Amino acid sequence: MSISKVGIVILNYMTYELTIKCLASLNEIAYDNFFVVVVDNSSPNDSYAKIKDYVNKNIFSYEIYLTKSERNGGYSYGNNIGVQKAEAIGADYVLIMNNDIIIPDKEFLSKITDFLDKNKDTAIAGPGIIQKKGMIELPLLISRIKPYNYIINNLFYPFVIFLNKIAKKRIQNLQTPLKVYAVSGCCFVIRTKIFNEIGYFDDNIFLYGEEYILGEKLYKRGYGVYFLPNLHIIHNHSVTIGSVYDSKKITRMQIKSHEYYLKHYRNDISYIMRSLMVYSDYFREKVYVPVITIAKKMINIVKK
């Protein structure tokens, strides 16, 4: 069994109730060598005080380090603070974990660190993520983004949704690790030494697209990123993001982040092609997203 030291980084923004619940649940993890760093990302409410009070009044099976950022610089900025703190404490691996994650498997850390210990060229391992209907979500991105595929996917977005549903059903039976380009940023484990080598997260990104940048950095250095479908976590995605931003704001942030990724990390793609890719994002947002949103509302009304 792995004895590698793991630092779990949890970023909090306003949702202290979720963070407290998450800290309590981690008492069930059967692993003797981990600690937790909680970073409050300059929440405008009393999150920091609430979490601090909870930590001081309760006993945990692990060490907790609580800190607060000077400003809300977004996902990458806040997590970088936690990662560097975990690195200073001596973590061999860092588990980036949203506060709305549930880890049902008590052996989760043992299994995921054992995989990394046995695969030295692998930088990241990400679990299968269950969000809706008890099904495992597809890996964030299996292969590196190709310009023509990217544009076609946006232009024929409804068809892509249909194909993804088929792929999602097939992946439920996958048991072996799958090499991918990027895993979801809500929960993954990365080697601390490699995280330092690639300069951590790019904190010029406020929210969304961090995983693409991370995947590209690792791709260029020849490190592996693996999706572990037989190791599951549960993610209530809408709780944290949906409570702060509306769907239009989220979509625009996603597009801006993808544009940044293309401009600063994909110089192998021509300027004209990058521009077309971004325009195709806006096409998808303006044409398909409103129609799909209305369709979902109509379906929900009919079901009621």
Residue 204 to residues 77, 200, 201, 209, 281: CA-CA distances in angstroms? 8, 12, 9, 11, 20
Per the structure, the count of domains in the chain is: 1
What is the value of pTM for the model shown?
Answer: 0.91
Query: For the segment 249-271, what is each residue's pLDDT rounded down to a tens digit?
Result: 778 888 999 999 999 999 999 99
SS3 (DSSP) at 186 = coil
Query: For the segment 62-81, what is each residue's pLDDT rounded down to a tens digit?
Result: 999 999 999 999 999 999 99
- Who contacts 13 (Cβ-Cβ below 8 Å, separation ≥6)? 40, 41, 43, 47, 72, 78, 240, 244
d(CA 192, CA 172): 30
Q: Is residue 100 part of a domain?
A: yes
Residue 296: pLDDT above 70?
no
Supply the CATH number for residue 232's domain: 3.90.550.10
Q: Is residue 301 part of a domain?
A: no
Contact 201, 75 (CB under 8 A): yes
Question: What pLDDT score was predicted for residue 236?
Answer: 81
Residue 174: pLDDT above 80?
yes
Question: What pLDDT score was predicted for residue 45?
Answer: 93
Question: What pLDDT score was predicted for residue 59?
Answer: 93
Residue 238: pLDDT above 80?
no
Question: What pLDDT score was predicted for residue 248?
Answer: 73
Q: Is residue 44 part of a domain?
A: yes
Query: For the segment 212-227, what is each residue's pLDDT rounded down to a tens digit?
Result: 999 999 999 999 999 9
Q: Is residue 46 part of a domain?
A: yes
d(CA 182, CA 111): 20
Residue 153: pLDDT above 60?
yes
Residue 302: pLDDT above 70?
no
Q: Is residue 132 part of a domain?
A: yes
Query: For the segment 175-186, what is each residue's pLDDT rounded down to a tens digit?
Result: 899 999 999 999
For CA atoms 250, 256, 260, 261, the dihedral sign is positive
Residue 279: pLDDT above 60?
yes
Query: Looking at per-residue confidence, does 298 or 198 come out higher?
Result: 198
SS3 (DSSP) at 206 = coil
Domain hosting 112: range is: 6-236
**Rounded average pLDDT over 183-196:** 96
Contact 138, 166 (CB under 8 A): no
Residue 228: pLDDT above 90?
yes
Q: How confident is residue 304, by pLDDT bands cut at 50, 70 and 90?
A: low
One DSSP character per residue, 227-280 reads: EEEEEEEEE-HHHHSTTTS-HHHHHHHHHHHHHHHHHHH-TTS-HHHHHHHHHH
Question: What pLDDT score was predicted for residue 173?
Answer: 87
Residue 124: pLDDT above 70?
yes
Measured in degrees and rounded to the nearest 5, phi and psi for residue 163 equal -65, -35
Q: Which residue has the tokens 């109509």?
A: 298
Question: What pLDDT score was predicted for residue 250?
Answer: 78
Question: What pLDDT score was predicted for residue 290?
Answer: 72
Residue 19: pLDDT above 90?
yes
Question: What pLDDT score was predicted for residue 132?
Answer: 73
Element (H, E) at 9: strand 6-12
Q: Is residue 45 part of a domain?
A: yes
Q: Is residue 128 part of a domain?
A: yes
Q: How confident is residue 288, by pLDDT bands cut at 50, 70 and 90?
A: confident
Measured in degrees and rounded to the nearest 5, phi and psi for residue 34 equal -140, 160
- Who contacts 85 (Cβ-Cβ below 8 Å, separation ≥6)? 7, 9, 37, 39, 65, 67
Looking at the chain, the whole-number percentage of residues with pLDDT higher than 90 is 81
Q: Is residue 184 part of a domain?
A: yes
